[in-house]
Structure 1
Amino acid sequence: MITTRRTAARLPLISAAVVAIVLGASGCATQGDAATADPATGANYPLTITNCGSDLTIESEPASILTIGTSALSLLDAAGAADRIVARSGEFGAELPAGLSVDLAEVPILDPSDPTTEKIVGAQADVVVGYGLFNSTDEDLAATGVTNIVVDGECSHDAALTGSTDFDAIFADIERLASIFGTQDAAAENVAELRAELDELDADATAGKPQSAAVVYYFSPASTLSARGGQGIANDILARAGLTNVYEAEPSVYLETNVETLLDADPAVIVLAYGLYGEDFETAKALLLSEPGTSDLTAVRNNSVIGVLASDLAPDPDAIRGLRSVIDSTATLSE
């Protein structure tokens, strides 16, 4: 069964509490009446972008951002706009991405899980950037003057992706965000560096005998086993590392699976994504090995279960670090 990371809980109507927040908030976004050029960036507003296959108009340059999930942090940092983040949410206890150019440790977390409309509006940010809404709706936020911008590689939470997310899609998403915040110069420099690093990794990847692999994870200690399908960045990572995703045929990014399907596929390598709720690799591995039947897996018998931070297998610049981890770990397995 294909599923998203958690069950969506939609709020059909904006509540009176939210209206009260909007009327009382002094820092909410304002709407521009005509197209204007920002003197610092030269960007023209209103600006229309593509957001999960639909046109989305940004009325004026956003000065403040609420993020949902860690991918938004990394993408905004690469886009040169992380200094506008005023509140964070949806990180579920995961650590901050390593190597950010802006220290976000002191930025308040208004909700460690999926924020409600009331909490989003209470952050008084101009825009939301993240993996999507599960306790609110675009319509509710729009009614308060807040715009929801979804990370391109996370659009499958609300609608089917029109294509697979690869590294080119990540670079394009950085550039898309930079166009919103007028930070194109910084983004261009960062994307050039990321592309150079990716080229080096592609050259380092060994062209040995292809092996089958699966990327699996647990969203929480109580959740069932999940895997990465053929439309997410994890699939591109495996391919670049010389591995074939046993779930590649699944037209999804995230899918709910079980040990039985994993046993049927019996991949030579298991990439175990960890850290989604703050757990370390050993904790995640113990949870996997506690499942009945996993001792029969070829990857388990051959000690070919490798750990990669889940945040390094997400549709953001940290996926380059994930690719490096997979390449280095599989090279060690073959020694």
Structure 2
Amino acid sequence: MSYTSLTAALLGAALFAPVVQAQTSYPLTIENCGVQVTFDAAPETAVTVGQAGTEVLYALGLGDKVAGTSVWFTEVLPEYAALNADIERLADNDPSFESVVDKRPDIVVAQYEWHIGPQGIVATREQFTDLGIPTYVLPADCWAKDNSTGSDGTRLAMFEMDSIYAGVTQLAQIFDVSEKGAAMVADLKAREAAAIEKATALDLQDASAVFWFSSTEMDIDPYVAGRKGPPGYMMEKLGLRNVVESDEEWPVVSWESIARANPSVIVVAEMDRRRFEADDVEKKLEFLRTDPVASQMDAVKNNRIVILNAHSMDPSIRNVTALETLAGALPEFDLQ
């Protein structure tokens, strides 16, 4: 179930009200991606299905509550490497329902509805509820987004960082660490504003970009960022026009179409995952240099290529770091 823009705005306003910084009163009932979830006390154990949720819990100082993790795109943030090394990884990719349940968690935190949702490939939320296990899906995956269409869902409105801040705030409330959540959100907001200000000073008029996440085969059309997901938000804030016009999260677009659009900048994802050949960033770069179509783009000829951590292209607290990286790279490209 997806939120409308109005619902998202109302949720954001409610989450950021001063009351959330108070000590949490239990039982706590929240609405999460259209599902009512009740917590009788702060969870003592958690399992995460998705790197974004894992890193939020670590950042909130809740690593000791995490009994198992799964769905990893890249290495954990360096500051959490030692902590993460001592926590069981149930799977690099999709965990089984049984492996999650075997940890007997007080909460399962999911990054995507396609893992835990109406057609969840791990399980539905009802399957966990039947076992007395509450689930929480990060709001960014259902905030003005329809997950019933497109391989990764379709955005109904532009991605907002408020959806990330909402997830941080609400998880902090669930675990009764609201003050930590408020401080974390304040820091992220300040960094976001500074990066946008830096890029705005460039006053770009006709610069464009494409974000390449991966491809199932090197010679097959790539998965690139649609215009309303986190990369679309970054491009809009930094004064770049997205050459991809689809509202799907990661549509497949031909290299011929991308080359005709001739983006000023190409942003490529770097990841540790090796599900597809093009997950390897070095193979991406080699393709851009040697493919008879892609190699003719101005961005390739002039080496206007930015490498970003793949996880920072999906909704996560890393979006702010990606924004900072792009804002720092653009001045070197002499764009108009």
TM category, shorter? 0.7 to 0.9
Aligned residue for 1:334? 334
CA contact (8 A) 1:81 1:183 kept: no
Aligned residue for 2:324? 324
Q: Which whole-Å deviations, capped at 9, do the CAs of 1:175-207 have from their partners, x for residues lacking one? A: 111111111001111111111222222222122
Please list, as runs of the form range in 1=range in 2, the aligned pairs for 1:284-299 lying within 5 A after superposition.
284-289=284-289, 291=291, 293-299=293-299
Aligned residue for 1:108? 88
Distance 1:182-1:161 versus aligned 2 partners, 3 A rule: farther
Q: Does 1:256 align with 2:252?
A: yes
Kindly provide the amino acid, as one letter, of the partner of residue 285 in structure 1.
L
CA distance in structure 1 between the partners assigned to 2:157 and 2:63 by the alignment: 27
CA contact (8 A) 2:231 2:313 kept: yes
Quote how far apart the aligned CAs of 1:97 are.
Answer: 2.2
CA distance in structure 1 between the partners assigned to 2:39 and 2:256 by the alignment: 47
Q: Which whole-Å deviations, capped at 9, do the CAs of 1:30-89 have from their partners, x for residues lacking one? A: xxxxxxxxxxx7422332223224433334321111112221122223444333211111
Distance 1:78-1:230 versus aligned 2 partners, 3 A rule: farther
Distance 1:254-1:79 versus aligned 2 partners, 3 A rule: farther
Aligned residue for 2:124? 137
Aligned residue for 2:8? none
CA contact (8 A) 2:155 2:229 kept: no
CA distance in structure 1 between the partners assigned to 2:78 and 2:141 by the alignment: 21
The ranges of structure 1 where at least 4 consecutive aligned residues each deviate by more than 6 angstroms after the TM superposition are none
Q: Which whole-Å deviations, capped at 9, do the CAs of 1:238-282 have from their partners, x for residues lacking one? A: 2222211122x4223222223133123221111111215166643
TM-score of the superposed pair, with normalisation by structure 1: 0.78
Identity over aligned residues, as a percent?
A: 25
CA contact (8 A) 2:216 2:222 kept: no
Please list, as runs of the form range in 1=range in 2, the aligned pairs for 1:1-335 lying within 5 A after superposition.
42-92=23-73, 94-100=74-80, 103-132=83-112, 133=115, 134-155=121-142, 156=145, 158-159=147-148, 160-205=154-199, 206-218=202-214, 225-247=222-244, 249-275=245-271, 277=273, 281-289=281-289, 291=291, 293-334=293-334
CA distance in structure 1 between the partners assigned to 2:32 and 2:253 by the alignment: 29
Distance 1:251-1:147 versus aligned 2 partners, 3 A rule: same
Quote how far apart the aligned CAs of 1:292 are.
Answer: 5.0
CA distance in structure 1 between the partners assigned to 2:215 and 2:107 by the alignment: 27
Kindly provide the amino acid, as one letter, of the partner of residue 135 in structure 1.
V
Distance 1:221-1:99 versus aligned 2 partners, 3 A rule: farther
- SS for the counterpart of 2:283 is helix
CA distance in structure 2 between the partners assigned to 1:276 and 1:101 by the alignment: 15
CA distance in structure 1 between the partners assigned to 2:80 and 2:87 by the alignment: 13
Which ranges of structure 1 fall in alignment gaps of 5 or more residues? 1-40
TM-score of the superposed pair, with normalisation by structure 2: 0.78
Worse-superposed segment, 43-52 or 188-197:
43-52
Kindly provide the amino acid, as one letter, of the partner of residue 226 in structure 2.
G
CA contact (8 A) 2:208 2:240 kept: yes
CA distance in structure 2 between the partners assigned to 1:70 and 1:141 by the alignment: 20
CA distance in structure 1 between the partners assigned to 2:81 and 2:159 by the alignment: 25
CA contact (8 A) 1:164 1:232 kept: yes
Worse-superposed segment, 185-194 or 153-162:
153-162
CA contact (8 A) 1:269 1:304 kept: yes
Which ranges of structure 2 fall in alignment gaps of 5 or more residues? 1-21, 116-120, 149-153
- SS for the counterpart of 2:36 is strand
Worse-superposed segment, 184-193 or 201-210:
201-210
Count of aligned pairs: 293
Distance 1:53-1:331 versus aligned 2 partners, 3 A rule: farther
Q: Which whole-Å deviations, capped at 9, do the CAs of 1:188-240 have from their partners, x for residues lacking one? A: 11111111222222222122334111111116667851011122111111222
CA distance in structure 2 between the partners assigned to 1:224 and 1:129 by the alignment: 32
Distance 1:157-1:87 versus aligned 2 partners, 3 A rule: farther
- SS for the counterpart of 2:171 is helix
Q: Which has the higher helix share?
A: 2
Kindly provide the amino acid, as one letter, of the partner of residue 310 in structure 2.
A
CA contact (8 A) 1:131 1:151 kept: yes
Quote how far apart the aligned CAs of 1:109 are.
Answer: 0.6
Kindly provide the amino acid, as one letter, of the partner of residue 108 in structure 1.
E
CA distance in structure 2 between the partners assigned to 1:113 and 1:101 by the alignment: 18
